[in-house]
Structure 1
Amino acid sequence: MREWTHAEHAAAVATEIARMADVLKGRDMSVAVRTCPGWDLARLVTHTGGVHRWVAAMVRDLAERRYDRDGMDMGLPTDPGGYAAWLAEGAAFLPEALLSQDPEASMWSWAGEKRVRFWSRRMLHETLVHRVDAELALGVPVVIDERVAADGVEEFLDVLPYVKWNPDVAEIRGGGETISLQADTGAGWVITLDPDRFHHRRSLQPGTVTVRAATSADLLQVVWGRRSPDDYAIEGDGGLFGWWRGLTQI
């Protein structure tokens, strides 16, 4: 796997926002989103577009604190028929905001990486996962670039320790057991459960339990809870993976 630059992440953000808006154009916004229980497409769009505007504002200001997203005027159209176009606007203003700042500049984030570059990567995968949600809701094919997907699996593992809104994450500890995520396309990660924490590394080695899938795109959907691991080969202690997956719903 090759490392991404901030500029590459920002460019991919624009591509993913445009793809998501395209999927939603002309659609019934009342369609239920089964991968986000209780949400419909309208809620999915307003959440995703709202996050784009929230992050763009903080990046422009190099915010030292979290802005109140609920208190921001997002300029949401009154007619849901305009939601897809409203979402599409982010393909211009969000990358522009991200590229307007030094990627190494300090700013607030909820994870360990407190620099502008955190947000270019986070916004790529936030948008990608919600584009997948929309496609699954509408029954249209899900196509994910393999390089983007591999970065997305690793980003999930990178941010997982900082997910304070799900207290279950703090329970992901063990006695050295390993969970291996392997794609036939050549990407792989091993998560090690230590008594006080967990950590991960790139590796093609099997683990106490190994999940094998055809692509990183498949693994991305598994770790984000968008596909069942039962669809793929599980070798070893399947109960361990079920336990881990149950604690990692973010």
Structure 2
Amino acid sequence: MDNDRLRECLEEDYTRLRKVAAGADLSAPVPSCPDWTVAELVDHVAMVYLHKVACMKYGRPQEWPPETGGEEPLPLLERAYTELTAEFAARPPTTSAYTWYEPDQTVGFWVRRMAQETVIHRVDAELGAGVPIAPIPTDLALDGIDEFLVAFVSYGSRAWAEEFAEALAAAAGATVHVSAGDRAWSVEISADGVTVTPDGSTPSAATVSGEPDDVLLWLWNRAGDGAVTTTGDLTAFRRVLVAATQ
């Protein structure tokens, strides 16, 4: 996806998240994030935005969580989004910026990451508010699947080896074919990490397939097994996914 399209999706999902949260009981629990209320979800998204603004401004890792000054959740979210989009508007996507993903140290990484962060948490807000989940555009969902498997699972399994060690040991030797729309990915798990091949060409013992939005939400544990079609034993793979989303 190009930068303009990602910015467009970010705007749409932020707007939906803000609207849903404004009409919700902020004390309501978020079923997909059991430790959070809707207010805490909104706070989290706002703090993520402010954290990334600082990463781009200062070009180095920033402390988490950022200082928010005790603002109420919705005004804080609005301010944070305004600062985030102003930062994106001021910097071409190819501009150098600190990110946690070593292969891509650019502002463009954060545009993509914030678009994907926002769509998942927009769904969380809808679940917490008890309203219908708005459709996720196919291009955004496919991009999100790719980002999740390549950056969070494959790269993450080596960058944060200690956090993945137990899950990798249990899943070593597992192979999974993930397919959605016209895209497919092959996932091979070893004790040393996860290898993702973005053409789905490697024979696999288990499969996950479905509509792009359903597969994306399944990977992020926002949809149950009934939302996708599966074959084989995915128990060990699920442990790796949990490690990737901590």
Q: Which amino acid aligns with 2:168?
A: I
Alpha-carbon deviation of 1:126? 1.0
* Residue from 21, 24, 28 that aligns with 1:27: 24
Counterpart selection for 1:179 from 173, 176, 187: 176
Counterpart position of 1:156: 148
Aligned-residue offset at 1:137: 1.6
- Whether contact under 8 Å (1:181, 1:190) holds in the other structure is yes
Structure with bigger helix share is: 2
Alignment of 1:60-209 (within 5 A): 61=57, 63-73=58-68, 76-77=71-72, 83-112=73-102, 113-142=104-133, 143-160=135-152, 161-162=155-156, 167-170=162-165, 171-172=167-168, 177-183=174-180, 185-194=181-190, 196-205=192-201, 207-209=204-206
2:10 is aligned, of 13, 23, 30, to 13
CA distance in 1, matches of 2:40, 2:88: 25
Q: List per-residue Cα deviations over 1:155-175 (Å, max 9, x = no partner).
A: 111221337678442443666
8 Å CA contact retained: 1:102, 1:116: yes
Distance 1:101 1:216, change over 3 A: same
Check the 8 A contact 2:185/2:200 in 1, yes or no.
yes
Pair 1:50–1:175, CA change in 2 (3 A) = closer
- Aligned to 2:195, the other structure's residue is in SS state strand
Structure 2 equivalent of residue 229 of structure 1:
225
State the distance in 2 between where 1:76 and 1:165 align.
33
User: CA offsets per residue over residues 116-151 of structure 1, 9 Å max, x none?
Assistant: 111101111111111111111222121211111111
Q: Structure 1 residue 43: deviation in Å?
A: 0.4
Structure 2 segments unaligned to the other structure (5+ residues): none
Partner of 1:50: 47
AA aligned to 1:191 is V
CA offset at residue 246 of structure 1? 4.2
TM-score (norm 1): 0.83
**Aligned-partner Cα distance in 2 for 1:212–1:182:** 5
Amino acid aligned to 2:30: V
Aligned residue type for 2:232: G
Query: Contact 2:206–2:230 (CA<8 Å) still a contact in 1?
Result: yes
Q: Distance in 1 between matches of 2:36 and 2:182?
A: 35
Q: CA deviation at 1:222?
A: 0.8
- 5+ residue gaps, structure 1, are 78-82
Shift of 1:91: 4.6
User: In the alignment, is the contact (CA less than 8 A) between 1:172 and 1:247 conserved in 2?
Assistant: no
RMSD (Å), alpha carbons: 2.5
Q: What amino acid is aligned across from residue 148 of structure 1 in structure 2?
A: L
Report sequence identity in percent: 27
